[in-house]
Structure 1
């Protein structure tokens, strides 16, 4: 058993035997039962000789048990987001050399791409609602030593990199968060998909280390559709029903909660700590949330650092910043860019050149004050981060849209926005219906978070100051132009 799970089992031994550790709409696991459930699932995985698994399932007790059991059995696990396209999921499975897939139900287009020649799936007895399926043999990709989890981000391009983390790295972050937040026996409701590293580490491990209870709701129960859609009544209903003390939200979910509060929704008095992260959060949104009584605290992190690097907290908060650097982190600022020296990830899957890196270059331009609070000013590169926390390379989407003579010029914008917008050239020869048909065709090939759901045609006069002498887009000027354009509409 790993040292980190020994720590968790020690926490379990100090809790009332009938106190709830994990719960969902189907089952409850008490603190007395938790070690038993983990060990039972771990033994079943070991009995199959499994070395690497992927997990694709709804937020649930079973998801958490499989995740913890993989650590107990020293099995490499890849959490797969359900909003991945079949191509992205296949890329993750092949890149990581995955042998077995554990799932509840797969997106409709996945089986044909992922398991065309696989033997039938079987029930995973230790879970009750999950199935396990052996995948066609693949060559095992190189992994750095001590790799226990591979997290694939939402994918700034069609083929995201796999970030390798050890179990110790994940629990180090969780322990640091537990000390920083300072709540004992919290009741946490997981709103973000567990395949997202932030919810996995901060939403499961941290509350458990504090002797708390973690409740899981399905996407429908908590009002989430895909990676970027929200059923507001369902979301508010879930929060009201379960009366959590802690939540993790993206800026877009915070916008939903703030808007609802302005329209008369009363947040439950149980709420003590709402962490917001995953993308830039507008200061005005944070101010509105605070004025409405929402206990919101902004944070900042990277998958390569095990998720959270900085966080505002109940005891130490400075509005307008992304929080104070966590105790376990060592950072510096070089030429305005935040550099994380510790902790750092083990490396990327199949890329030994990344395994001995001495630091992580965040790509974020920041200021760091004497008390250790960081303020984020922007990104060094072109990567867009939507208000749902999804990473998108604009060039990825643009390359598809420019694959037709219909468009001569196209720049995708939407950093910090719930959806992407394409700025295109104004060509009277093409009707709006024809353009929309082309956008629909391209969007069908993209995951929902990367689709350009709106387009705006600009005249040649509008384009000229936004381009370099050789016609390349000046993206910072275009983002400013788009911001001005939308603010006046």
Structure 2
């Protein structure tokens, strides 16, 4: 199978823009709770914001933007963590026909300079003084960015000041401009992650985002909450990423109660989830990996590590048996497996669900493919994770698991209204209403004639740069990136993604980069999770204190040092990963690095993807040492 398409499920946006949904909801259901803000004095720690109140805030801020010189087509950057004001500025800007330019709050001055100058940004919203200083550094040469005229700072109460400034303009000015917005108008200039080069600005229209969100709501809206429950979602993914931006729009269009959580670190995210108690979860594989690691650490600390591992094994087997029954290839879980699963549901799985607030039964994973074993594990623990695949250029997902028909290890079938084609070399090509309008100021898009869905070199298809295959039922499996494929000196081709995913499944291993281009064999650079490593060392120290024999110093019974034990543990993880590939593809040597790859060092993108070329340059000496002799 090389092609598959799925009929459209939602009607396209024919008039207006994204801001209209805010005003329509307020007109029909003014008291409807649309958002929630953290408030220590409110019940449960969250204060609800009604549709009418949010509409009034959007209108007031939109008037302020007009008073300060923002006009239809003006580009305004937002450089902030995920918070309420992000959503407020988005919709106020869209209400007057402005264009949003999301910026990661961790962006460097050089990255920010590229975005501001390339997109000709006229104004920027920042959170604090540190980000304002980054903007100043990015604009230290005035001729480099003559367009930037305004900087608004959230912690200096810019929302209140702009709203007050806007009182001198009539509300009718906002509505006149809002009604002039057309579906094909640009809503946002969202930049790619830049894993293989300089980030590129993608023109995402109002119709693109509406098609993405309306399709997901029409086909998957029933999964957002249990019958009789109000759907609610805590957004913690960065809105600077298309995935996070799509989540925001989907909530506002679909009547899902939306809360914001600025920090992704477990110590802050988990308490927020516990208090907000969402019914649904949008996340990335990193979050699911961290949740598993945190649950395992808690079990080991309580002396229940073996029980936890047994429960995870039962969860995977139970989910596999259920999946086989759904496909008609098996009878489902047997009596013994059902009994064990029921026992562990009370003792272990309920604790995992409690980490997410206790109400989540369905989740979506995106950003990168979810490991099959991890998907099975969460399904067995009572949380079905729907994996999807997409790009910045596709306004979010363009494939997703069909409702009730999850196939673990795949990223699903095309989103309704979209199509997938496999080129002769295995590259995934896509098209549909969610595909962007083109790259910013690029007259030869994608190096060969892609503009919107118009015919060109690719016949209206968008080449993604990803490699994949379609199974017999049209489910897409992503096997790697074209540019990441390693060609060893013997001519063997190795797609590193599968190996890296299997290695990162180990609780201790945080990141992995497989290398081997023009080398005699494949090797790997490995980093360890600091929190998991500290926990592992603590357990080893406790075990040594309880079992050690100070009087026995014989060489034959020498206990390996902690570092030797650590190396042995990583070696076992490498051996398990190698078991899934051929000898030519297997890792023959590895190096454990002293620290993790970071954004600050330029080795990760803001969406936590590896910058392979930068890593190879930074660790050139370590890579050479892997092949010495």
Alignment-derived partner of residue 10 in structure 1:
24
Alpha-carbon distance between aligned partners in 2 of 1:10 and 1:303, rounded to the nearest angstrom: 28
Alignment-derived partner of residue 210 in structure 1:
254
Contact 1:250 1:278 in 2 (8 A): yes
Residue 362 (structure 1) aligned with residue 464 (structure 2): yes
Larger-gyration structure (1/2): 2
Q: Superposition pairs for residues 182-197 of structure 1, below 5 Å?
A: 182-183=221-222, 185-197=230-242
Alpha-carbon distance between aligned partners in 2 of 1:416 and 1:165, rounded to the nearest angstrom: 36
Alignment-derived partner of residue 199 in structure 1:
244
Residue 309 (structure 1) aligned with residue 309 (structure 2): no
* 1:21 paired residue among 31, 34, 44: 34
1:397-441 CA deviation, whole Å, 9 max, x = no partner?
99xxxxxxxxx99x996799989xxxxxxxxxxxx9xx989x999
Considering fraction of residues, name the structure with more helix. 2
1:236-268 CA deviation, whole Å, 9 max, x = no partner?
222111101122211111101122334454323
* 2:68 paired residue among 38, 45, 48: 48
Q: Superposition pairs for residues 463-478 of structure 1, below 5 Å?
A: none
For the structure 1 residues 260 and 444, does the alpha-carbon distance in structure 2 shift closer, same or farther, using more than 3 Å as the test? Answer: closer
Alignment-derived partner of residue 493 in structure 2:
none
* 2:442 paired residue among 343, 346, 351: 351
SS of the aligned residue for 1:151 comes to strand
With normalisation by structure 1, the TM-score equals: 0.72
SS of the aligned residue for 2:38 comes to coil
Contact 1:84 1:447 in 2 (8 A): no
Any unmatched runs of 5+ in structure 2?
Answer: 1-14, 40-46, 143-147, 164-183, 225-229, 300-350, 453-459, 486-495, 505-510, 531-590
Residue 70 (structure 1) aligned with residue 160 (structure 2): no
SS of the aligned residue for 1:352 comes to coil
For the structure 1 residues 83 and 443, does the alpha-carbon distance in structure 2 shift closer, same or farther, using more than 3 Å as the test? Answer: closer
* 1:169 paired residue among 208, 219, 241: 208
With normalisation by structure 2, the TM-score equals: 0.57
For the structure 1 residues 46 and 123, does the alpha-carbon distance in structure 2 shift closer, same or farther, using more than 3 Å as the test? Answer: same
Contact 1:152 1:162 in 2 (8 A): yes
Contact 1:52 1:77 in 2 (8 A): yes
1:45-94 CA deviation, whole Å, 9 max, x = no partner?
22333211101112122110111122221111101001221111110111
For the structure 1 residues 126 and 10, does the alpha-carbon distance in structure 2 shift closer, same or farther, using more than 3 Å as the test? Answer: farther
* 1:266 paired residue among 344, 352, 359: 352
Displacement of 1:128: 4.0
Q: Superposition pairs for residues 34-433 of structure 1, below 5 Å?
A: 34-50=54-70, 51-105=74-128, 107=130, 110-116=134-140, 121=151, 127-128=159-160, 146-157=185-196, 159-183=198-222, 185-201=230-246, 203-219=247-263, 224=264, 230=265, 232-262=266-296, 263-264=298-299, 265-267=351-353, 268-335=357-424, 336-343=426-433, 344-354=435-445, 356=451, 358-369=460-471, 371-382=473-484
Contact 1:275 1:298 in 2 (8 A): yes
Q: Superposition pairs for residues 438-477 of structure 1, below 5 Å?
A: 444=601, 449=608, 450=611, 452=615, 457=622, 462=627
Alpha-carbon distance between aligned partners in 1 of 2:152 and 2:220, rounded to the nearest angstrom: 41
Contact 1:170 1:306 in 2 (8 A): yes
1:209-236 CA deviation, whole Å, 9 max, x = no partner?
22111000222xxxx3xxxxx3x23222
For the structure 1 residues 11 and 382, does the alpha-carbon distance in structure 2 shift closer, same or farther, using more than 3 Å as the test? Answer: same
Alpha-carbon distance between aligned partners in 1 of 2:404 and 2:376, rounded to the nearest angstrom: 18
Contact 1:280 1:416 in 2 (8 A): no
Contact 1:251 1:279 in 2 (8 A): yes
SS of the aligned residue for 1:24 comes to strand
For the structure 1 residues 337 and 121, does the alpha-carbon distance in structure 2 shift closer, same or farther, using more than 3 Å as the test? Answer: closer
For the structure 1 residues 415 and 162, does the alpha-carbon distance in structure 2 shift closer, same or farther, using more than 3 Å as the test? Answer: farther
Displacement of 1:443: 6.5
Contact 1:22 1:28 in 2 (8 A): yes
1:6-61 CA deviation, whole Å, 9 max, x = no partner?
3453344444x333212222564211222222222222222333211101112122
